Amino acid sequence: MKLNRNLKEVRRCTKCIMPETVPGITFNKDGVCNFCTGFQELKYLGKDKLDEIIETQRKKAIDYECIVPMSGGRDSTYALYLARNVYKLKSRAINYDNEFRTEQALNNIKRACEATNTEFLTVRSKQDISTKIARSQLREELSMGFVKRPNICRGCSYGIKSIPFIGSLSNTKCL
C-alpha cells in the first residue's frame, strides 16, 4: 500500500467498512474482514444467572470475592460501583500502569476506591517493559515506512492480561 494513495482507493471490509490499514486485518474472497468473520455474538444470560455466579463466588472466596481491573475511565469505575455498592462484593481494584497512564486516570481510580472503600493495587513491570516494547514496535514500523497504522500496544496487552494472575495471588477467585 502506498502512503499517498487516495482514501477512495483504500480497500475496506464490505460488511463493517474497516480499512486495510488496520493492523492484522485480512479479507476473504467476498471482501469481508477477519474481524467480521470471526465475530461471535455475546449471549446475554440475564441478571438471574449473574446473581447465581456471584453467590457461587461468595462461597469460594478467601480474601476477595472479585477483582476489578481499573483504567480510571467511567466503565471500570461503574464496574467497581456495581461490585461494591450493588452486589456488596469484597473487591480489590487493580490497575496496570502501562507507563503512559495519566495523572487524571490515577486520581480517578484513587477517588473511586476511596468512595467505595476498596483496596487498590497498581502493577507495573520492573524493567519498564511497556516502554521498551512500544519503542521496539515503533522502530519496526518506522523501518517499514508505516505501511499500516503502528501497533505499539503489545506491552499494554501483556500487562492487562496479567491482572487476573495478580489477583489470584491474593486468594481471589476471579469473578
Domain with CATH 3.40.50.620 in the chain: 47-168
- The 10 Å CB-count burial string (b at 16+, else e) for 24-46 is ebebeeeeebeeeeeeeeeeeee
Q: What is the pTM of this model?
A: 0.64
Report pLDDT digits (tens) over 6-53. 556 888 999 988 888 887 899 999 999 998 999 888 889 999 999 998
Q: How far from the centroid of its chain's Cα atoms is residue 133's Cα?
A: 17
All cell numbers assigned to 162:
496479567
Is CATH 3.40.50.620 what the domain over 47-168 is classified as, yes or no? yes
Q: What pLDDT does 103 receive?
A: 93
The string of pLDDT tens digits covering residues 85-139 is 999 999 999 888 877 788 999 999 999 999 999 999 888 777 676 677 777 777 7
